[in-house]
Chains A and B, each alone.
Chain A
Amino acid sequence: MKKGPVVIVECFQEIPCNPCETSCPRQAISVGDNINALPQVDHHKCNGCTVCVSRCPGLAIFVIDVAYSDAESAVTMPYEFLPLPEKGDLVAALDREGKECCRAKVIKVVNTKAQGKTPLVTLAVPKGMETDVRSFKLAS
């Protein structure tokens, strides 16, 4: 966790699904033979590459990097709304209930064919907020 980016899978119900397992280039996520089982992450194998984030049909996977800087952590999330933010934008970060919890800066936006129309947005958030921030609102 302290070393750098690592995946957080927020998938808490046994639903028949395993693209996280099959998309991971390092076999760090396993679901197993019962496709309804919850995904298990081997954090020693995960390097936070973000491939699984766009592949999760439930948009339930995030990558956090607590080593981003001294004061900030980075949170990468799937974002399927328009307009897409741009690198450098300041946004209002939202928690799991949609409540504003802090300000954040957009540090990366990835939207190539590989993301399959689920772009990835990475926010820099104040240290400690990486466990709360799961969405954002463009500043109006």
Chain B
Amino acid sequence: MTNTDFLIIGGGPAGLMAALSASEFGLEPLIIDENQAIGGQLIKQTHMFFGSKAERAGTRGFEIGLELEQEIGKRSIRIERQASAVGYYPDGTVAVLQNEKVTPLKPKAVLVATGASENFVSFPGSDLPGVYGAGAVQTLMNVYGIKPGHRVLMVGSGNIGLIVSYQLMQAGVQVKAIIEGLPKIGGYLVHASKIARAGVPILTRHTILNALGEDMVSGAVISKIDDKWQTIEGTQQTLEVDTICLAVGLSPLTELLWQAGCQMNYIPELGGQVAWHDDLMMTTVPGIFTAGDVTGIEEASTAMLEGELAGLGAVKFLKGDSKDLQSRINDTACRLAGLRAGPFGQKAREGKCKLAECKR
């Protein structure tokens, strides 16, 4: 592994788009990713994406991943797979672990596009085999072609819960129900409608009390809850399932940003602790950029545009400003604002506003 001016940590939608936009202006980025396949979560997304033509709307996620990989192959962009950034040192060295060997890299600019990790809920039996995160279920089904179970309870009705339920149904798995603690469905109604019209109940104001089973999941006890999230006696019911899938939110994966000494702020609308960043995604540490879910949980389409901005930000940081660069930046920023302009972008808009005001 050889050094680079611009190191991109994470080969998901944000990291890949950052590499492409930076290479347009002559940078030769190095992308490292801990997985064998690049594309991040895109490789598991079998549904068509929303957005406009410029964001490849109507294309399925995994196909977007393949398209980006092809474009990258045509440029001076290097990819190191199964390589993890395991530490950031005060002199700007990033330690990269690959094949049991650590290589110290000292880039002039770094993009931390490490994504997010799934949240968990604990309940009696939540440690039984058969309780999965939605990401694991998607990986099993859509990357390895393995059915995770036969009868599933989905916990959470955000877009991930809805989409993974649909994919389970497509794989021939019976989804017994989707439960949601809040009084209304969290994700897009169009996703919920596809599931509802195929006959799967979506139960709002419901929670899981416990999983049944000795050696593996054999059932789940669910119950209605009131507006204080207390279970309502007499509403318990047992579902015969062998799999319980948790889709209860994501948290930014920020360890490297903490190590680098970036100013971190707790912004609930963005999913937890995130690094302060400017309009070009640069953190409070000059030369360290952030983009995608690691700087606020959103959609892959916004992650791609944030990545684009971060790549252009790295160009500006390393090579200075130019008229072409500025007009490219304006265009991307405008498209990003457009995607966030609707009611579903409200949380992200508010979160990013709050974050902007946090600068010390």
Binding site for B on A (CB under 8 A): 10-19, 22-23, 34-36, 55-60, 80-82, 94-99, 116-118, 134-135, 137
Contacts and interface: CB of A to CB of B under 8 A. Distances in A.
Nearest to B201: A98
Given A35-B339, A57-B58, A17 B189 contact: no
Contact of A81 (B50, B170, B188, B340): B170
B301 to A, nearest CB: 7
Contacts of A34: 338, 341-342
Interface residues of B, number: 33
Interface string B45-66: 0011111110001101000000
Contacts, number: 112
A137 B169 CA distance: 13
A13 B189 contact: yes
A96 B50 CA distance: 22
7 contacts: A22-B53, A35-B51, A57-B57, A60-B193, A81-B169, A99-B199, A118-B48
Contacts of A15: 50, 188, 190, 342, 344
A136 to B, nearest CB: 9
A116 B58 CA distance: 9
A99 to B, nearest CB: 8
Contacts of A80: 170
B194 interface: yes
Contacts of A99: 199
B345 interface: yes
Contacts of A17: 50-52, 57
B108 interface: no
A14 B48 contact: no
Contacts of B188: 13, 15, 58
Contacts of B47: 57
Nearest to B171: A82
Nearest to A23: B58
A134 B338 contact: no
Contact of A57 (B48, B169, B199): B48
B53 A96 contact: no
Nearest to B342: A36
7 closest pairs, A vs B, by CB? A58-B190, A36-B342, A98-B199, A57-B48, A19-B58, A17-B50, A135-B197
Given A13-B188, A58-B50, A95 B57 contact: no
A45 to B, nearest CB: 20
A70 B45 CA distance: 43
Contacts of A98: 196-200
A8 to B, nearest CB: 13
Given A18-B57, A36-B345, 14 more contacts: A10-B193, A19-B58, A35-B51, A35-B339, A36-B342, A57-B57, A58-B188, A59-B194, A80-B170, A95-B197, A97-B196, A98-B199, A99-B199, A135-B197
